[in-house]
Each structure stands twice: as structure tokens, then as C-alpha cells.
Amino acid sequence: MADKSIEQLVQDWLELDQYEPTRKEIQDLVAQKNNGELESRLRTRIAFGTAGLRSSMQSGFAHLNPLTIIQASQGLASYILANLASFPAHKQKAVIIGHDHRHNSSLFAKLTALAFVLKGVKVFFLDEIVHTPLVPFGVGLLDAMAGVMITASHNPARDNGYKVYWSNGCQIIPPTDEGIAQAIEENLRPVEGAWDTQVLEGSELVEKVKGKVETAYFQKLGQMVEGMRVEKKGDVRFVYTPMHGVGLAPARKVVEGVGMLDGMVVVDEQAKPDPDFPTVKFPNPEEKGALDLAMAAADREGITIALANDPDADRFAAAEKIDGKWRTLTGNQLGVLFASHMLATSALPMNKISLLSSAVSTQMLSAMAQVDDFDHQETLTGFKWLGNVAQAITAREEYKTIYAFEEAIGYMFSDVVYDKDGVAALGVFLTMLERWNAEGITPTRRLQQLYEKYGFFESCNGYVVSPAPKVTKDVFDGIRALGAGSGKRYPAKLGGRQITYWRDLTEGFDSATSDGVPVLPVDKSSQMITVGMEGVRFTIRGSGTEPKIKYYVEAKATVSEEAAKAAKEVADAIVQEWFKPAEFGLVVV
């Protein structure tokens, strides 16, 4: 596309696109002679990666719209058909497709389904809005070869996404993503009939399965949660918000299953699915202010617990009012609370259990493993890695992976699904509240007990905004070059602290392995370095989806204040001594 004129790109678009609203967008830009916007929309093609596709919904090859959805689906279908021999024998030549409530999600799901039907692939269709975990769960339940969920999770209202799961119910990882991307490039022209979604009605290749999959999912989740229950002592009351998303219906089923429906207060303003997310700028429970309405509702009811799912209900958040002030539990804090509960309620011997966390999550889980003698392993960021590694560990039969988490409020309970699941997390959290209530303690007090046993861990995470990918690379290359004077591949110090460990998953170096080769996969196309110092560990990485360089700093100490101080000092040193905002034109947030 690089060698084509803008006029040729416009002609290409109008030749392929048969959806009138997006055709008109391009035609209007042409009439306005807005070549800058046309270049932005048409010059580059939206990239397919391990997260599938995610972008704003606009016309043009660079965004999500009916044409790029058809192209992606034709490519995915072709890749599956070309690789039938690689799937397990019990798998059906079928995919499962679901969607959330966002603008165009239903249309995108139907166009996706149609692309598969036209290639002779059966579609198990979740024909109404669902929460994301139903798709990976359905892959396993129905022996499908793959699954597609149309959602942009907690992104702003203008965005949507195309999330792909493979035959094992996990998000795709390399080289599968690369193969699909290539197949998309080879199937860009919509086949005959690709726009006529009416074909789906009455097609023998389409089976509507929402009821079947939901029933099995809640049965599976109910079995897991029931095994964690304790005798109820007093009523557990809490506020819940689905953040204008799809979570309320499945949340109510879970809450009813644990007998706590009478104690559930829903945030009315955010209860119904609304693709415009009118009460929150960013519909992400992690964002500052996102839980304000839930906290206000709790205050009115005299309740001290507020719980939330993100819009597609695959993430979970919790806040507690302590001494008159609301405190939102971090993803890491929730992660270790869940871990402790999973260990306490598992029927497996401790030395047969494996728990996973990602490289940017707290090291507290590792400290717990050293004390309690369970297996803990670290993966690359993202549940595509956590899910696939969990399955691989369990398949070797030395350990069973029962739980995994990531600091970005994602929690996986593998007895239900090998992906993050906010509804399952809600169910498990309610059993935790029951247990704590019976013991006369709060979530914060339970967390304090864990700190007293394993050490105090405090984090200081953040990011700077980078103007361009090349600048991000220059920043990381400059950091590596700081070790040149000492003859090492990494700096000796940062902020006056000696560096004792260095892992560079871009360059493929790990100072702790005998051969210097990292255990975790190396990816030269992305920037990621993990550093260890006395009492402190941090990871810096370039974001794959945003113009950011992120840092995740964690310190361990005998008291909370000491750990927090160390984490903040190292975070400041990273930004000023290594990122060098003034030199590289970075924006400090």
C-alpha cells in the first residue's frame, strides 16, 4: 500500500466496501479534499496480533469496520481450513462466536459468522450479548476449533475489538497469530455473499447456543464456588456495578447461587448495558473515579464493600471503606487474596499446586510459594501466556495450575476457563467475604495478615508518553548502553542502588541463567526489561497498544511505609535517570 497514491487507495476502498455508512465517510473526506485524514485511514492496514484486532470504529483499512471484520474473518477461516490436520481429532470443524453490547458488535458478529458459513465452517452462535469468558468456555464445551469474541473490553466507547481464541480455549500466541495475519492478507476481497447476513437465518451451519453454553458455564462455576463455602454467619452486603456493560445478568446468577441476592445493591445509573458509557470517561474500574458511583451508593446504604466488573465482565475490582475512607484494592492485592483463598480451599496437596502470575505482577506470590511449598511460575504479560502456560503445566501432571493473575485486575480460575473471568472472580470473592465475615475480619485485615506472614510488598506503577516507536527504542537502547563502561550488557546502578539481576526479553539475555538465555520467550519486536535490586524489582516495557513506556516497581520490606518509600524512589529514578523525558521528548504523566 505504501507505493499507491491516495486516489488509488480511495478507489480500492470504494471497490471493496459495500456498507453505505463507511463508504459515505470516505466519499465525504474526498469531497472535503481532506487528504490528511484519508492518509490516516487508508495508508496502513490494521495489524492482527496476539490480541486479535482492536481500534476505533471508523471507515478505512486502519480501523475496525464491516470490511476489515470480513477480511479478518475470511483470513481466520482460511487459516483454520488450511490447518485442519493440526487440530485434535475430537474437534469439530466449527467456531463459536459471541459479542458484547458495544456499537456495531452485533453486526460485526454476524459478518464474522457469515464469513465462516460461506467457507463451510459451522458456527456456534451466541446470539445475544454475553460476557467474554463464555467464548473460551464454549470452545471447550462444544469442541470448537476456535472462538471469536467481538469486544473492546474496557476501551472507550468509540472502540471495538476482535478477540480470537484457539482450540484449547486460550487466546492465540505466536506463531498462530502470524499465520492468521498472513492469511488475512491473502483474503482481502470479500467473497460473493459476504455482506448478506440474512443468509445466517435458517442456515444448517448456524446453531444458536447461548442457553446451552450459559447453563454449562454456571454449573461449572457453581461447582467450584460451592467447594469454597463456609457456614454463613450474618448477612454479607455489597454494592455491585457492571460499569454500563454486560455483567449484571451473569453476576446476578452467581450471587443467587451463593445465596447473597438479598445483600446485593446494584448501581442503578450503571446497571444497564449502554455502549456510550455515559457516567465514566473510561469504563475501566482501574481508572480514577470509575468507582465513585458505586462508593456513593454504598455510602447511602451503609455498606463498606463495592465490587465491579469491566464492561465485558472479564475483569474484577473491589473497594473497601476503612475508617471512613474508601480504599480500592490494587490488582496485586486482590491477586494475592485470591491466591491465599485458592490454596486454603483446594483439595490438592500444597506441593501439587501451581499458581501463575505475569512478569509485571507482584513478587509476593513467589514469596508465598517459598514459604508454603507450592509451585509458582512467571509468564510474559497477558492471559494468552498465563492460559497457555497453565495448560502446559497441568498437562505434565507434576502440578495442577488452579489459578493465575495479572496486576491489571485479571484473574483466571482454570477449573472454569483458561482466561481471565470477572464473573468467576466475583463468585470466588463472595466466598472470601463469607469466610472473612465468619472470622470477624475484613479484606484489608486479611491482607495485613498475609503481609505479616510473607513480607510487606508495595508498588509504584506508571508510564510516560512516547512520541513514536523509534523514540521508545532509542530510550531502551540508551538504557542498555549505560553498562558499556563496565563491560556489562546492563547498568551497574540506578538511583544509588546496585543492580543484582537483569533480564532483557528484547535482546534475549538473563543474568541468572547459566547460559545467559532467558527461560521466558524473547520478542525482538517489543521492548521489555526486568531488573532486580536489594529489596526492589521492576519491569519496564513499551506498550503494544498505546504510545506509552510503562514501569512496574515493587519493593519488599518489614514495614509497609519502608516498602512504599523504596518503590517510589526507584520509580522516580527510572523516569529521571533512564527515561530522560527532556532529552527524548517524553510526557511524564
Pick from 163, 138, 204, 208: nearest CA to 73: 163
Going by the DSSP 8-state scheme, the letter that residue 577 receives in this structure is I
- Alpha carbons 291 and 284: distance in angstroms, whole number: 9
Coil, helix or strand at residue 70: helix
The helix-helix angle for 422-439 and 443-454 (nearest 10°) equals: 90
Pick from 179, 192, 314, 137: nearest CA to 243: 314
- Alpha carbons 510 and 519: distance in angstroms, whole number: 8
Catalytic-role residue among 73, 78, 105, 153: 153
Grid cell digits, residue 274: 449502554
Task: State the amino acid at position 417 in one-letter form.
Answer: V
Q: Are strands 375-379 and 548-557 parallel, antiparallel or unpaired?
A: unpaired
Task: State the amino acid at position 103 in one-letter form.
Answer: H
Q: What value, to the nearest 5°, has the Cα angle with vertex 484 and ends 478 and 488?
A: 110
Coil, helix or strand at residue 524: coil
- Alpha carbons 474 and 338: distance in angstroms, whole number: 39
Q: Among this protein's residues, is 153 annotated catalytic? A: yes
- Alpha carbons 508 and 517: distance in angstroms, whole number: 6
Q: What value, to the nearest 5°, has the Cα angle with vertex 273 and ends 267 and 276?
A: 100
Residue with cell 492469511: 183
3-state secondary structure 402-416: EEEEECCCEEEECCC
Q: Are strands 536-542 and 94-99 parallel, antiparallel or unpaired?
A: unpaired
- Alpha carbons 565 and 4: distance in angstroms, whole number: 55
- Alpha carbons 332 and 460: distance in angstroms, whole number: 11
Grid cell digits, residue 387: 492460559
The helix-helix angle for 210-226 and 422-439 (nearest 10°) equals: 20
* Alpha-carbon distances, residue 36 vs 62, 65, 470 (angstroms): 14, 20, 22
H or E segment to which residue 110 belongs: helix 105-117
User: Omega into 175 within 30° of 0, i.e. cis?
Assistant: yes
Q: What are the E-state strand segments in 382-514?
A: 400-406, 410-413, 456-465, 493-494, 497-504, 509-510
- 312 CB neighbour count, 10 Å cutoff: 33
- Alpha carbons 65 and 74: distance in angstroms, whole number: 14
- C-beta separation of 444 from 304 below 8 A: no
- C-beta separation of 116 from 75 below 8 A: no
- Alpha carbons 160 and 167: distance in angstroms, whole number: 23
- Alpha carbons 437 and 433: distance in angstroms, whole number: 6
* Alpha-carbon distances, residue 226 vs 214, 231, 346, 420, 434 (angstroms): 18, 11, 12, 20, 12
**Positions marked active-site:** 153
